[in-house]
Amino acid sequence: MEQNVSERVKKLREELSYHAERYYVYDAPEISDYEYDMLFAELKVLEEAHPELYDPASPTQRVGGKALDKFEKVTHNARMDSLADVFSFEEVGDFCERMESLVSRPSFSVEPKIDGLSVALTYENGVFVRGATRGDGVVGEDVTGNLKTVFSIPLTLPEPLTLTVRGEVYMPRAVFEKINARREEQGKPLMANPRNAAAGSLRQLDPKITAERKLDIFVFNFQGGALYGDGRLPTTHTETLDRLSELGFQVLPLRRVATRCEEILSHIEAIGALRDELAYDIDGVVIKIDDLEDRRTVGEGTSTPRWAVAYKFPPEEKETVIEDITVAVGRTGVLTPTAVLAPVRLAGTTVSRATLHNLDFIRQREIMLGDRVIVRKAGDIIPEVVSALKEKRTGTERHFSMPTHCPSCGETVFRDESEAAVRCTNAACPAQLWRSIEHFASKNAMNIDGLGPQIVELLLSNRLIADAADLYALRAQQLEELERMGKKSAENLIRAIEASKSAGLERLVYALGIRNVGEVAATALAGKYGTLEALMEATSEELCQIPDFGQITADCVVNFFSHEGNRVLCRKLIEAGLLTVSVAAPTEDLFVGLTFVLTGTLPTMSRDEASALIKAKGGKVSGSVSKKTSYVVAGEAAGSKLTKAKELGVSVISEEELLRMMGE
């Protein structure tokens, strides 16, 4: 029976690897997504039932493993240089002339420059063992677990070769647009562009998040090792990429070999013309000598190879029409005008909206409703209106004015003369409510684990809460009836909400979302006034006496607490039993002179709760272990901090021992 299971697992892994390659590398699937998912689910069940059959190269390892504390450093076996940029056809011509003066009749590989993040992939005996970011070219970061989630990276090669290749990780446009659409619905800041999104996704400490981002890769270079089983090496770059394709790598498309500069320029234009149609972003075209011996003749520069350049596309500008100007309200109450454009294809994506920032921006550029305008992406990232084409006006255009009342709640808006922003200061404003509750529950605020954007939306849409204070009146039975919330999830969320009551005044003040009051300012306010009740009565003159507090921040605090809706919210939080006194000032001197470091998951407390208790006893809490550390409080799955404590001989205690020291 055991033999049959082992054979079935092996067969499933082979089938899934084959079909993943057909889908992700060759874009020629042979089975449906449903059939693939069923095979994958069967393999996962078998592997979980038989852990002795674990294989790091199994397709199930692509869904993301355990989250890391940090990325380890990796020294590359060959320097990962960047390329020199050129910005005109004249500069491309100069490059061709230089190469022709150094080698006889050079041939050039001309290929698109993928706008992504460069990585090195290392295989030992045909098995993927390490993936690293470029870093500074010499030392990068080990992101192996995250790269395993990229399905077009083969986990095993068809031959037992030991080699390193270089590729460009990117986020497909369709994935990027889908993620941004979801983030917009959730009121989250939008990702700037696919390249930034790919870089941020690849550097997530939790591989499961990377897996959700559906990254992809093109391999474009051979870094070293054995490309053939008999030890021979390729003679040209083109042969190299053809061989890598044979081994299962997804190699650069749209490449061609040219022998004359005119051919190079023609292919650059051809690639540029296809730019809008591609499923991924490119920001230029790479021109490199194809013959590897010729490359050695030309040689390397101090920081870039002499045998290659990257032609960068100029910023793309398009003409379109402002069909409307809408005004949205953000979490902090800022009213932001946005131009609704006749859709236009720009730098690889369809643009139908562009921020107009504020009224001053509109007036400075003399923008009117109905104007024909020039738009571009600032730095190929954020759509912006460059200018209005005033000479094309027909007389039907209209001036735009900011609303005098909040478009969401109807309250009178406020504009501080010291800034350009127009604001709604009503904390109960529906447009701000979702975002303000999400902020209230965030890690650095009340740290309510499990209360993410989707759950907040569920609570609001089902009218279970009307403000942040209502969270503390929720019952598990109410939550169990919600979509995506089972009994266990409901109980966990109620526990997390209850635990947040002891977060202290510092976190609570930050959680209120007072404009210009970040974590440092919130701590200063808590230290100055000690209780929420006292802070609610603060005057501008008193606030200005706090170090580093200016008149603007003081006015923001006074303005917040002068609004009756905000005062009602604060009173409800007090009545709900939240700890509304400062935990920064020690109530005892038991731990004065002692420094603690917390690591791992504690049995009954969160790290924030343990930190608050230590500080209340006069102790300090540090994020790193050193010889000056007095105690390391270690919980389950303690990592590198525990190891370092043992190396330095620092005392390691449990949560139980910490509580015993406190007399609790």
Question: Are the beta carbons of 382 and 180 closer than 8 angstroms?
Answer: no
Distance, in Å, from the CA atom of 561 to the CA atom of 540, rounded to the nearest integer, reads 11
The number of beta carbons lying within 10 Å of the beta carbon of residue 202 is: 25
Q: Are strands 317-329 and 334-346 parallel, antiparallel or unpaired?
A: antiparallel
Q: Are strands 620-622 and 595-599 parallel, antiparallel or unpaired?
A: parallel
Q: Are strands 282-289 and 73-75 parallel, antiparallel or unpaired?
A: unpaired
**Which tokens go with 621?**
């809490």
Long-range contacts of 635-642 (CB under 8 A, 24+ apart): 635/598, 635/599, 635/600, 635/601, 635/602, 635/603, 636/600, 636/601, 636/602, 636/603, 637/600, 637/601, 638/599, 638/600, 639/69, 639/599, 639/600, 640/69, 640/70, 641/597, 641/599, 642/599, 642/600
Any idea how long the chain is? 664
Q: At what angle do helices 261-274 and 89-102 cross, to 10 degrees?
A: 140
Distance, in Å, from the CA atom of 219 to the CA atom of 59, rounded to the nearest integer, reads 20
Beta strands in 411-557 (DSSP E): 414-415, 422-423
Based on C-alpha coordinates, what's the Rg of the chain? Answer: 30
End-to-end CA distance of the chain: 54
Distance, in Å, from the CA atom of 450 to the CA atom of 470, rounded to the nearest integer, reads 16
The number of beta carbons lying within 10 Å of the beta carbon of residue 75 is: 9
Q: What are the φ and ψ backbone dihedral angles of 8, each rounded to 5 degrees?
A: -65, -40
Catalytic residue, candidates 113, 148, 214, 617: 113
By the 10 Å C-beta count (0-12 exposed, 13-18 middle, 19+ buried), 463 is classed as: exposed
Question: Is 517 strand, coil or helix?
Answer: coil
Distance, in Å, from the CA atom of 570 to the CA atom of 572, rounded to the nearest integer, reads 5
Distance, in Å, from the CA atom of 252 to the CA atom of 249, rounded to the nearest integer, reads 10
- Is 113 designated active site? yes
Specify the amino acid at residue 616. Answer: A
The number of beta carbons lying within 10 Å of the beta carbon of residue 243 is: 16
Report CA torsion sign: 159, 161, 167, 172: positive
Distance, in Å, from the CA atom of 399 to the CA atom of 468, rounded to the nearest integer, reads 39
Question: Is 21 strand, coil or helix?
Answer: helix
Specify the amino acid at residue 80. Answer: M
Question: Is 393 strand, coil or helix?
Answer: coil
Q: At what angle do helices 194-202 and 173-185 cross, to 10 degrees?
A: 80
Question: Is 317 strand, coil or helix?
Answer: strand
Strand partners, 140: 74
Closest alpha carbon to 142 in 133, 151, 134, 150: 133
Distance, in Å, from the CA atom of 423 to the CA atom of 336, rounded to the nearest integer, reads 9
Q: Which residues are known to be catalytic?
A: 113
